[in-house]
A = this chain, B = another copy of it.
Amino acid sequence: MAFLRRTVGSGIRRYSQGAAKEWLTDDFLDSLRAVVGSAKVSAAAVVREQHGHDESMHRCCPPDAVVWPQTVEQVSLLASTCYSRGAPMIPFGTGTGLEGGVSAIQGGVCFNLTQMDRVLELNTEDFTVAVEPGVTRKALNHFLRGSGLWFPVDPGADASLCGMAATSASGTNAVRYGTMRQNVLNLQVVLPDGKVLHTGGQNRRPRKSAAGYNLTGLFVGSEGTLGFITQATVRLHGIPEATVAAVCGFPSVKAAVDSTVQILQAGIPIARIEFLDEVMMGACNRYSGLSYAEQPTLFLEFHGSTGGVREQVEATGEIVKSNDGSDFAWAQEQEARDQLWAARHNAWYAALALCPGRKAYSTDVCVPISRLPEVLVETKKDLLASKLTGPIVGHVGDGNFHCILMCDSEDDDEKGRVKEFAERLARRALAMDGTCTGEHGVGLGKRQLLREEVGDVALSTMQRIKAALDPKNLMNPGKVL
């Protein structure tokens, strides 16, 4: 792990390597302190290192300083200070990204937004809530207890909602409730020059609008490259009257995935449908103390009225049976369901525990659901041929799955095979009309794949938008484009 800079006291000592950073002066750091106070600015190596990486294998690139603004006004003043000096700016939420989105590859100032953590306005009648960027999805759902409402988008990690908006997160419930794209109604954004933008107008929250360009949709998924998301107004959903979860094993990958496709095509409004291959099931059994059969498996959850859930379960049961699936193992009570989904959400750590000492890289392709059986079967073959350990888990109801590739970062040959496998998988998904990223984003690692996916005209259109909104290329530079 290489540091580009290190600090001595409050001063800055420059290494000879790396591009010159004219902006990086003691005076500059003082101007940041003048906005938020000395305690909310740090240039300490350990702090910078903490902020230079997410949960992925991407190399740690520490920022030169970290700031903890408390208000949107402070974010605005800090941004305009950085903008006038030409300092790169990197938004930081919970650091749970998976594509290197927070790496400060050109150095700069990391804005840690976790201390802005108020729930600002809850409208239970309209099913909307506005939150500051430090509010995580679990914190919001805790806040909502007793209201009869919840926020369903669930990427597994306890990510911040504004970070989830920035990366267009989704996860297990997206098949029923949509991704962040469908659940963000409005955003407050601090632009690189410090101006404060309300993408849908200040405090507005109609269910739909046709007023002007869809700026909300543009900032969702912009990965911090266009501005700081300092407030998000999101849709809430009613807690269903009935919820049941079930686990079901299959004799083959194809049987499990065929069932998924048929369940969706039958129009069953399933809330969650997650696939785990036999390797992943084994890892989850060991990590979470479960005892499911180690075979291709679906984790299912049904939401609705009592009668509606019964209908869904019956229809799903018939489909599963026709594909030689096992009987359902039920998880009806809250506690049992929590245990089941905790096991699913701990898949990442379960995979890491398979190969102690190794790191992991998660692929993230998404294809039209009709192509799922084919892409999964081919991917399993490729794993074998590549001699890689890569348990598969995914939101198959959306056609989205992950291969968690275990990798010894000291083993160049293995690193090479992981990289080549991941690129082959992405291109396999592209060849099947899919995308190289269903939910993790482009970040650092998928910029070339993005070009292949969308083509030169779309890429240059994105670049023109970036240049129009961030003409100095200071917002999270080097990401996405």
Q: Is the CB of B368 within 8 A of A212?
A: no
With the chains together, A260 CA to B197 CA distance in Å?
Answer: 33
Interface hit among A85-93, A218-226, A335-343: A218-226
Does A469 contact B458, Cβ atoms closer than 8 Å?
Answer: no
Contacts of A2 in B (CB 8 A): none
A436 at the interface (CB under 8 A from B): yes
- A301 within 8 Å of B (CB atoms): no
Q: Which of A17-25, A122-130, A317-325, A409-417 contacts B (4 or more CB under 8 A)?
A: A122-130
Copies of this protein in the complex: 2
A191–B464 Cα gap in the complex (Å)? 13
Task: Using CB atoms, name the residue of chain B closest to A200.
Answer: B454
A207-B400, A465-B468 are known; give 5 further A-B pairs, CB within 8 A.
A201-B454, A206-B367, A207-B369, A210-B439, A212-B481
Find residues 435-481 in chain A having any chain B CB closer than 8 Å to their own CB. 435-442, 446, 449-450, 453-455, 457-459, 461-462, 464-469, 480-481
Q: How big is the A interface, by class?
A: 35 or more
Q: Sort A-B residue pairs by CB-CB distance and give the 3 closest, nearest first.
A: A217-B217, A125-B370, A468-B468
Known: A125-B261, A311-B308. A457 touches B198 (CB 8 A): yes
Cα distance, A167 to B128, chains bound together (Å) = 25
Q: A261-B125, A458-B198 are in contact. Are A208 and B439 (CB under 8 A)?
A: yes
Given A458-B199, A461-B215, answer yes or no on A210-B437 (Cβ-Cβ < 8 Å): yes
Whether a CB of chain B sits under 8 angstroms from the CB of A434 is yes
Contact B457 A197 (CB under 8 A): yes
A174 on interface, CB distance cutoff 8 Å: yes
Chain B residues whose CB sits within 8 angstroms of the CB of A398 once the complex forms = 206-208
Q: How far is the CA of A307 from the CA of B191 in the complex (A)?
A: 51
Residues in chain B near residue A454, CB distance under 8 A = 198-201, 211-212, 215
A450/B206 contact (C-beta < 8 A), A458-B198, A467-B468 known: no
Q: Decide if A137 is an interface residue (CB 8 Å cutoff).
A: no
Q: Report yes or no: A218 in contact with B221, Cβ–Cβ below 8 A.
A: no
Whether the pair A201, B435 counts as a contact (CB closer than 8 A) is yes
Q: Does A366 contact B (CB under 8 A)?
A: yes
Which residues from B are CB-within-8-Å of A128?
368
CB distance from A168 to the nearest CB of B (A): 4
* Residue A433 lies at the interface, judged by CB distance under 8 Å to chain B: yes
CB pair A399 B200 closer than 8 Å: no
In the assembled complex, how far is the CB of residue A54 from the closest CB belonging to chain B, in whole angstroms? 15
- A210:B123 contact, CB within 8 angstroms: no
A146 contacts B by Cβ under 8 Å: no
| Complex contact A366–B207 (CB within 8 A) | yes
B217-A455 in contact (CB<8A):
no
A sample of 20 inter-chain contacts (CB < 8 A) reads A125-B265, A125-B370, A168-B210, A168-B214, A178-B182, A197-B457, A197-B458, A201-B454, A206-B433, A209-B366, A210-B437, A210-B441, A211-B442, A213-B221, A213-B480, A215-B462, A238-B265, A307-B307, A464-B468, A465-B469
Closest to A368 in B: B126
Taking the nearest CB of chain B, how far is it from the CB of A158, in angstroms? Answer: 19
Q: Does A203 lie at the interface of the complex (its beta carbon under 8 Å from any beta carbon of B)? A: yes
Residues in chain B near residue A210, CB distance under 8 A: 167-170, 221, 364, 435, 437-442
Is A289 part of the binding interface, using a Cβ–Cβ cutoff of 8 Å? Answer: no
Q: Evaluate contact between A211 and B455: CB separation under 8 angstroms.
A: no
Contact with B along A255-286 (1 / 0, CB 8 A): 00000010001110000000000000000000
Q: Does A179 contact B (CB under 8 A)?
A: yes
- CB contacts (< 8 Å) of A464 on chain B: these are 468-469
A240 CB, nearest partner CB in chain B, Å: 8
Q: Which of B127, B206, B266, B457 contacts A435 (CB 8 A)?
A: B206
Residues of B with C-beta under 8 A to A369: 125-126, 207
Closest to A435 in B: B209
Residue of B nearest to A169 (CB): B210
Chain B: which residue is nearest A310 at the CB level? B307
